[in-house]
Every structure is written in C-alpha cells, then in structure tokens.
A and B are shown apart, each in its own frame.
Chain A
C-alpha cells in the first residue's frame, strides 16, 4: 500500500511538473504578421438548416452592433485596443451592400465596448482609457452628449453594456485590476504609468486584512527598488489589518444604472470583476457575462472560468475573493500555491451562484437571447467568445473560445453554436482558414430571425503582449435557410 501511494504521489508531482514546462498554445500565438484576412463562410460550422455569411468587413476593432427602428444595422469600432493602440472610435451604418457610412466619430477615449438604440438615439459605452468612462447619447444626425461621465475606467477593464430597460440605462463597470492589487502587470497594460494613483474602488465600505504584495518597483529606474502594495490602494501603498476603505459611487466591478432622463448613476449590484455583456432574457431578467480572473500580476489566480450571472439587485458577487461561490482560497496556482486572502474581512454577503461556467480564458463577452421560435432555441443565451489572450493572461494547452456558444439557462449547459471547422477550436488565423477570428458580441435582429456576430478581427499574442490588426474586423450574419 505504501509503495502504491508513493508511486501515485510521484506521478502526480511528475505530471504537475510536466504541466509547468508545457508551452502555452493560445490561439493568438502565431508567427508572422497576418495583414490580410481571408473570409470564407464555408470554413465555419453552423447547425444544419442555418447559414452564415459575412455582411461587412475591413472594420477596425469592431465590438458591438445595434439596429434602428427600420432594422438597419449599426456597428461601432472601439477606437482602442489592448496593445495600446489609440484611434478614433466610430459609429457606422451598414448598408445593404455591406458598405459602411460614418454616423459619428468620437474622441480617442475608447474602447467603445457596447451600443444600443432606443427611441431615436444610440447609447454607447465609452471605455474611457484616457479621459474616464462615459455613456454617450448620439442622435441619428451624429450629435453627441454624455449621459454619464467620470467613470473609473483607466485600468484593465472599462465601461461596458449598455442595456435599456424600463426607463433606465444599465451598464457594467470593470475593475482596475485582475484581483484587487495594482502591480507590474498593470504597467504592461500601459495605464499604470499614465495613472499611477489609480486603483479599485469598492461600492460600499470594506475592511481589509493585513495583506500586501512586494514587487520590483516598475515606476523607478533602480532595479533594486521595491514596491509594497495592498488591495484597493494606489501602487506602492501598503495597507494594515483592519483598515477601512470607504465605498464610493461610481465604483469599479459593478453594474450601475442611470435614468434615461439623466442624473447620478446608482449601484445595482457589485463585486464583479469585468461585467462585460448585459442582456434581457424573455422573462425580463438581466443576465451578465463576467470575464474571470487571470493568472497574472501580484495576486495571480489559476483555473477560473468566465461565468454567466442572473442579475440580482443589491447583491455582492464576490470579487476579489470569490468566483461565483468558489472561494479563491481553495484554488492554487501550479508551482506557486494559493492566492493569499481573503482580502476583505467583512464580505458584504454570500455571492450568488453563476448560471453557467465557460472555458477558462475564453473571454466570454457579449450576449443576447433568442426570442423567436422560428430561429430556434428560444429563451437560450447566445454568447460571443473573444478567445484566449494567452500567454499574457496565463497558459493554455489549446486555444479556448473563438466561437459563439448557446447556454440553456435552466441547466447551465453550454453548447457550440457557431465554430470554425478544424481539429481544435481556434481563430481562423491560427487554423489557416477563412472563418471566425474573435467574436466579441452577438445581437439578434429586432424580429429575432437572424443573429449578427461582431468579430473583432485578428489579434496576435506574444509574451510582450497583444498586437491587434487594423481593418480585419468582420460582421457575420447567421439565419435560417
């Protein structure tokens, strides 16, 4: 018995070591520079009885789409991409011939992460990497005003959504950091040097444990200099046991809402990491996708999948100490051990359980619900998976995401709906095909008879970070034959 146990233990240790030395194989990790994008719908698998076509191409970082009252589609180009590319974000009308016409061009304050149309106006979630997040209201004539501004969006994650329901506009506000602590990974993103005092903001008062992280100080030239940083604090600012951090609004990691008539935004729920997609189910409930933790920074977290939540007003959803109902204390990073914590000693409640779990690093982003029985799968959520950003977010053994999945919200089962042909999942540039690259959002037509997929385009990855490729974005349309 003793020999068997020793043998088992040795094999476990050996395999753990194997995992650590295996190279990352993310979908963005390709050599070369794919400047041209081949588009071929026959390289994409859709269910029998459905067809897919490309309706617009040559877009630069498209992220979302909406329809006006006449059913005309409009797409937004983000104007900012990870990789520190700053451009002018744009709202474009897509003509029947696939040609685009500019309706409005914004300031270099992207990324524009979402758009919706309501009662003659476009509402745009402006990520706010340079000036802070905003919700813009844009007329058909291209006149814009800010419904909300000054949102804390200078960090890793931005202002998302928006969704309009019963006179209110709901939006997501992502966190500044991966898991609560500003570190050298945030310098890699680019924002730490622009905003060295920026950090996460709780929506209500929290009390911290005595947990700080010591790293090389990336803001000084002295390689021996060290930074000691605590959670919810500026870089190189330590915290002490029992220290209270005052809650503020607007805060990070929250879903907020504002009346369409204006006013201050109010918190609906918080404790999210990056609440990206918001959509209304046929029963009127709001569902949210959350991009979960990465294996990076001062407090890396391993093995945590993105999730789908049903929004419950007033709840705290667990960030930075849980993912769903899973405490991070029970997780571990291979070769490094458990994340220290919990950081917050007075958790504001028990986090709700997710409705569904997606692949780790799948970047499950925009979602929408099928409402038309003729299209099929009525009541199911359709989710666009941007795909992994390995190795910067952590290692994967094979590409994750790069497709559209559907979720049975009653059971949590996740099934492929639109996926590239191939022996593995992956973007077209990785597979060498003309299919999907990085689906970022999905939107049903107003009648629900077709599903549009906004494909961000090619983003390659290396240890240095992401390289997004301009003019490679595509809008796809899936309909019944």
Chain B
C-alpha cells in the first residue's frame, strides 16, 4: 500500500498534466454541441445525485454555460473530461472562471455537478 506521502507526490506530479489537458480542451473549444430536441415532457433524472447536480448546475453554472453549452464562457459538455477533472476545475477555477470553494459548494455538491455534466454530455 502506498504511503500518504507517495500519493501526495503522485498527485502533485499529475497537476501539470491536468492543467495542460484543460488548456488543450479550452483551445479545442471550437468544437460545438449540436442543438438537442427539446423534451416533450419533464425529464426524470434517474438518480438523486443527478437531480441535485442539475439544480446546482442551474444556479451556479448555467449563467455562463447555458445548458452546458458556450455562451459567456466555453462549452463544458463537448470535452471528454472525466468527473475528477471537472471537480478539479470547479474547485480551482481556471482563467476567468471563478473557483468554487468550500463555502460555496460542498465536496458532495461538486461531485453531483460533475456527475450531471458527464450525464449531459452523454445523453445530450
């Protein structure tokens, strides 16, 4: 089993790669997300995490990324980002995007937003 120190070192070592990937995704933002056919009835999300994530997304994220797509900011559902990277970017902020610290969102809430974004990308 790895020691805490080793895990910490590995995490730190991964940060440049993570940031590089985020930069690449930003640059590749020219890729667009086609319009979806609007739902004819209220869509019932399959899990409580997705339901909470969708509500948090509506309040915290959709102003700059309406429906997850580009607007004031870039699209955030046209990139193959895993949940962990979405959570990292939400906590750390990036460029002009503000960081959502613990007083704004709990870890569970950040996780649920990331889960919802992954769902939007796949189901959208």
Question: Are B26 and A420 touching (Cβ within 8 A)?
Answer: no
Say yes or no: A11-B32 contact (C-beta < 8 A), given A400-B71, A411-B55, A412-B59: no
Question: Quick one: closest B residue to A404, CB to CB?
Answer: B38
Q: Which of A303, A305, A377, A398 is the one whose CB lies under 8 Å from B42?
A: A377
Question: What CA separation (Å) do A334 and B39 show in the bound complex?
Answer: 36
Say yes or no: A398-B96 contact (C-beta < 8 A), given A376-B40, A412-B55: no
Separation in Å of the A244 CB from the closest CB of chain B?
34
Separation in Å of the B41 CB from the closest CB of chain A?
7
Which residues from A are CB-within-8-Å of B93? Answer: 12
Question: Are B38 and A416 touching (Cβ within 8 A)?
Answer: yes
Residues of chain A in range 407-426 having any CB-CB distance to chain B below 8 Å: 408, 411-425
1/0 contact string of B19-63 vs chain A (CB within 8 Å): 110110010010011111111111100000000001100110011
Residues of chain A in range 39-67 having any CB-CB distance to chain B below 8 Å: 45-50
Which residues from A are CB-within-8-Å of B92? Answer: 8
Give the interface SS of chain B, mostly helix, strand, loop or mixed: loop
Which residues from B are CB-within-8-Å of A421? Answer: 35
Question: What CA separation (Å) do A11 and B15 show in the bound complex?
Answer: 11
Question: What CA separation (Å) do A49 and B41 show in the bound complex?
Answer: 10
A176 interface contact, C-beta 8 A: no
Question: What CA separation (Å) do A11 and B24 show in the bound complex?
Answer: 11
Question: Are B70 and A422 touching (Cβ within 8 A)?
Answer: no
Say yes or no: A411-B74 contact (C-beta < 8 A), given A12-B94, A360-B64, A423-B32: no
Which residues from A are CB-within-8-Å of B40? Answer: 47-50, 376
Q: Which of B23, B32, B62 is the one whose CB lies under 8 Å from A424?
A: B32
Which residues from B are CB-within-8-Å of A396? Answer: 71-72
Question: Quick one: closest A residue to B93, CB to CB?
Answer: A12
A356 interface contact, C-beta 8 A: yes
Which residues from A are CB-within-8-Å of B72? Answer: 303, 359-361, 394-397, 400
Question: Are A356 and B73 touching (Cβ within 8 A)?
Answer: no
A464 interface contact, C-beta 8 A: no
Which residues from A are CB-within-8-Å of B58? Answer: 356-357, 411-414
Question: What CA separation (Å) do A337 and B32 show in the bound complex?
Answer: 30
A82 interface contact, C-beta 8 A: no
Separation in Å of the B95 CB from the closest CB of chain A?
3
Separation in Å of the B72 CB from the closest CB of chain A?
4
Question: Quick one: closest A residue to B34, CB to CB?
Answer: A423
Question: What CA separation (Å) do A358 and B61 show in the bound complex?
Answer: 10
A113 interface contact, C-beta 8 A: no
Q: Which of A305, A394, A417 is the one whose CB lies under 8 Å from B38?
A: A417
Which residues from B are CB-within-8-Å of A417? Answer: 38
1/0 contact string of B61-87 vs chain A (CB within 8 Å): 011101101111111000000000000
Which residues from A are CB-within-8-Å of B19? Answer: 7-8, 11
Separation in Å of the B51 CB from the closest CB of chain A?
8
Question: What CA separation (Å) do A359 and B67 show in the bound complex?
Answer: 9
Question: Are B26 and A18 touching (Cβ within 8 A)?
Answer: yes
Separation in Å of the A295 CB from the closest CB of chain B?
9
Question: Are A4 and B16 touching (Cβ within 8 A)?
Answer: yes
Question: Are A359 and B71 touching (Cβ within 8 A)?
Answer: yes
Which residues from A are CB-within-8-Å of B64? Answer: 303, 305, 359-360
Question: Are A7 and B26 touching (Cβ within 8 A)?
Answer: no
Separation in Å of the A360 CB from the closest CB of chain B?
4
Question: Are B15 and A7 touching (Cβ within 8 A)?
Answer: yes
Question: Are B35 and A413 touching (Cβ within 8 A)?
Answer: no
Interface size for chain A: under 10, 10 to 19, 20 to 34, or 35 or more residues? 35 or more
Separation in Å of the B18 CB from the closest CB of chain A?
9
Which of B40, B41, B75 neighbours the largest number of chain A CB atoms within 10 Å of its CB? B40
Which residues from B are CB-within-8-Å of A397? Answer: 29, 70-74
Separation in Å of the A403 CB from the closest CB of chain B?
9
Which of B26, B63, B74 neighbours the largest number of chain A CB atoms within 10 Å of its CB? B63
Which residues from B are CB-within-8-Å of A423? Answer: 32-35
B12 interface contact, C-beta 8 A: yes
Question: What CA separation (Å) do A413 and B58 show in the bound complex?
Answer: 6
Which of B15, B41, B70, B72 neighbours the largest number of chain A CB atoms within 10 Å of its CB? B72
Question: Are A359 and B42 touching (Cβ within 8 A)?
Answer: no
Question: Are A19 and B71 touching (Cβ within 8 A)?
Answer: no
Q: Which of B12, B16, B36, B63 is the one whose CB lies under 8 Å from A360?
A: B63
Say yes or no: A45-B63 contact (C-beta < 8 A), given A413-B55, A424-B69, A425-B69: no
Separation in Å of the A156 CB from the closest CB of chain B?
20
A389 interface contact, C-beta 8 A: no
Question: Are B71 and A422 touching (Cβ within 8 A)?
Answer: no
Question: What CA separation (Å) do A434 and B2 show in the bound complex?
Answer: 61
Separation in Å of the A256 CB from the closest CB of chain B?
28
Question: Quick one: closest B residue to A331, CB to CB?
Answer: B98
A14 interface contact, C-beta 8 A: yes
Q: Which of A15, A46, A424 is the one whose CB lies under 8 Å from B94?
A: A15
**21 contacts across the A-B interface (CB closer than 8 A):** A4-B13, A7-B15, A7-B19, A19-B96, A45-B36, A45-B37, A47-B39, A48-B40, A49-B40, A358-B62, A358-B66, A360-B72, A396-B72, A397-B70, A397-B71, A397-B74, A400-B72, A413-B54, A414-B58, A416-B38, A419-B38
In the A-B complex, list the 4 residue pairs whose CB atoms are closest, starting with the nearest: A15-B95, A305-B63, A359-B66, A47-B40
Residues of A within 8 A of B (CB): 1, 4, 7-8, 11-12, 14-16, 18-19, 45-50, 303-305, 334, 356-362, 376-377, 394-400, 408, 411-425
| 12 other A-B residue contacts (CB within 8 Å) besides A7-B15, A19-B95, A359-B64 | A48-B37, A377-B42, A395-B72, A398-B32, A411-B54, A412-B59, A414-B66, A418-B38, A422-B34, A424-B32, A424-B69, A424-B70
